[in-house]
A and B are shown apart, each in its own frame.
Chain A
Amino acid sequence: MSTPPAPTGEAPSPAATPSWTRRHLLGLEDLSAGEITAILDTADSFAEVSDRPRKKVPALQGKVVFNLFFENSTRTRTSFSLAAKRLSADVQDFAASTSSLSKGESFIDTARNIEAMGCDVMIIRHSISGAPQLLSKHVRSSVINAGDGAHEHPTQGLLDLMTIRRKKGRIEGLTVGLVGDIAHSRVARSNIWGLTKLGAKVILCGPPTLVPRGFEALGCEVAHHLDEVLPRLDVVNVLRIQFERQQKGLFPSVSEYFYFYGMTRERLERSKPDLLLLAPGPINRGVELTPEVADGPNSAILDQVTNGLAVRMAVLYLVSGRGPGASKAE
């Protein structure tokens, strides 16, 4: 029975103190391995909630979560909304295209107006790198980065880590290939930070125009021939070609890209038999991978979507876990 403030049912040791004290989740770059593991452990607990007949817990009752999406997104926004609803928070969507932003209001003013209505967590997606960091300096709410430019997409990185950890039982010591458009990919950056911090080896692979050598500075190996590195990989994460984010001419044609970097049955046969295949979605069937591979036994694409919900519940729970007194200190 609980006897506030120290319930007898809980181990009172200081070791039980969670290693999460942040108000925002802006990226994986500033997180420690312990903080990333704390999110993944919490997400494992939340995965069970989605298996229940009644998929809801009262943890965030009375909290208000705003989705501020200044860039198109269907699955990430839906996933965040559902995650917030499963925690019993109230969720409000804010679509930039129909707002006063189109009348010239600044992005910070918009956020402050939203906060004046009463808001506890802002989930922001923006085409400009650093927008969530800027926002976090101007609002009292918690800010969660749902993707900023080519900078970071931390919850995608976390759900990839969660999927690897659940499928492989570990992350440390694995060799993980990120294939495709690394230069334009915030998913790649969040993956690189998360994987290297947790002790995996990361190999980036794609044409030199999409995988510049500069990425070696982040502790990765850079390769341009998929067939040479594929047999070494335990996990391959096939990134989408971001047709909307790149200028023309970075590779000669889609069919040539597919010839050199597409994941096919033939390539799978030359890989480790238990190669885990991830793709952040949306996938372009026939560009990054064949439908046969996407739907095959090595693919964990739909597990990623399921785990994404658990990861977002965990992040919403953890950033909300700071009392109002604690947040003033920042």
Chain B
Amino acid sequence: MARAESRLFGSDELGALLDRVARQVAEGRIPGVPLLLVGIRTRGVPIADRLAALIGDGVPVGAVDITLYRDDLGLQGHWPVLKGTDIPFEVDGAEVVLVDDVLHTGRTVRAAMNAVCDLGRPARVRLAVLVDRGGHELPIRADYAGAAVAASPEERIEVRLRPIDPDDEVVRVGPAPC
């Protein structure tokens, strides 16, 4: 458990990252096409909520649970608990912006794209993340990112958000000490 942790962004800086992503999303929208934010469970959902509040205009927010679309399902001992997909609006013809905390391998985003496309045919799907940490394993890039952080494969970049976590922060969790 004793892994080295260093804080990359505090609460104020995290707020600035959110502002930046919200501005990018608002500037990038297609005029006349409904915009929907879909948070990837777990931490993509509160980020999507905050982005929607910053963008205003009553942008609706949904949540996608990618569990059933994971490419590593069955590789773990127990299967993850389902938290459910909740997208109570038409995705047909809409611009869907997938929202997640960290872009790493791209596998979660791949699963989320499949999950959203099972609900309909969006006009466009884009990806917004708070932090792009590199290490992509699929041809997936973020359209909107708050920050780019270089991290080694052994490190984890964690975004912590109220109310799930005690504080708003982004931390780098180092490899387990030898």
Contact = CB atoms under 8 A, between A and B. Distances in A.
Nearest to B119: A52
Contact of A322 (B67, B77, B105, B108): B77
A248 interface: no
A1 B109 contact: yes
A56 interface: yes
Contact of B108 (A2, A20, A42, A318): A2
Given A2-B105, A59-B73, A323-B75, A42 B82 contact: yes
Contacts of A1: 100-109, 129, 133
Residue among B80, B81, B120 with max Cβ neighbours from chain A (10 Å) = B81
Contact of A9 (B73, B100, B114): B100
Interface string A1-15: 111111111110000
B69 A18 contact: no
Interface stretch (B15-23, B25-33, B48-56, B151-159): B151-159
A57 B118 contact: yes
A52 B35 CA distance: 20
Given A3-B105, A8-B156, A57-B69, 6 more contacts: A2-B108, A9-B43, A18-B78, A48-B85, A87-B68, A325-B77
Q: Is the interface of A mostly helix, strand, loop or mixed?
A: loop
A268 B66 CA distance: 44
Contacts of A87: 68
B72 A48 contact: no
Give the top 8 A-B pairs by smallest Cβ distance, nearest first.
A321-B79, A1-B104, A45-B82, A57-B68, A45-B84, A59-B68, A2-B108, A54-B118
Contacts of A322: 77-78
A46 B85 CA distance: 9
Contacts of A282: none
A115 B120 CA distance: 38
Contacts, number: 108
A209 interface: no
A217 to B, nearest CB: 35
Contacts of B146: none
Interface in B60-94: 65, 67-70, 72-86
B22 to A, nearest CB: 20
A21 interface: yes
A324 to B, nearest CB: 9
Interface of A: 1-11, 16-18, 20-21, 38, 41-42, 44-46, 48, 52-54, 56-59, 87, 317-318, 320-323, 325-326
Contacts of A38: 81
Main secondary structure on chain B at its contact with chain A? loop
Nearest to A317: B79
A57 B27 CA distance: 34
Contacts of B107: 1-2
Contacts of B103: 1
A323 B115 CA distance: 24
28 contacts: A1-B104, A1-B105, A1-B106, A2-B72, A2-B104, A2-B107, A2-B108, A4-B72, A4-B105, A5-B76, A7-B108, A8-B156, A9-B41, A9-B102, A9-B108, A10-B80, A11-B164, A17-B78, A18-B79, A18-B80, A18-B81, A21-B78, A45-B65, A48-B84, A58-B68, A58-B114, A59-B67, A322-B78
A8 B82 contact: no
A46 B72 CA distance: 20
A323 B76 contact: yes
Interface in B136-160: 156-159
A309 to B, nearest CB: 15
Contact of A45 (B43, B76, B83): B83
Contacts of B83: 45
Given A45-B65, A59-B68, A8 B104 contact: yes
Contacts of A20: 78
A8 B164 contact: no
